[in-house]
Structure 1
Amino acid sequence: MKPEPLLAMVKEDWKSFLVKTLETGIAETIRKHERTGRPMGDGAFIEVLEGITGLRLKTGKARHKPKPMN
């Protein structure tokens, strides 16, 4: 991957871009997705990723493992 397309989109010095303060709440949202390993994006984006990977990526209710019957 080459950085040129990204640098063109930033329209400023890359270092300055990276040091800017993130919008309130966005840093925590990014951290949350890093911890869970779930992709960050809207529903349509997640559906595209699910189609490509064949994996269920949407968050859902936590499922408890049933207790084994003895």
Structure 2
Amino acid sequence: MARRLRHICAQVSADLPANTDVVLRANPSVATADSADLLRQLRSGLRKLGLSSDPAPTRDRTPAASAT
């Protein structure tokens, strides 16, 4: 678990302002979450705090074809 969190933090560290310290607290659910989800959650939290200029991910939502 710690290794995955370190890897994820390394991915976002370049997006943080200089001299910024971030403390993460891992809840038990981290053990079963996949790395992509953890990265999304971390980036979302950093954006909410104003610590990241990384844009929010866009979702490609294609309307479902209507049945005719």
The structure whose Rg is larger is: 1
Task: Give the TM-score, by structure 1 length.
Answer: 0.26
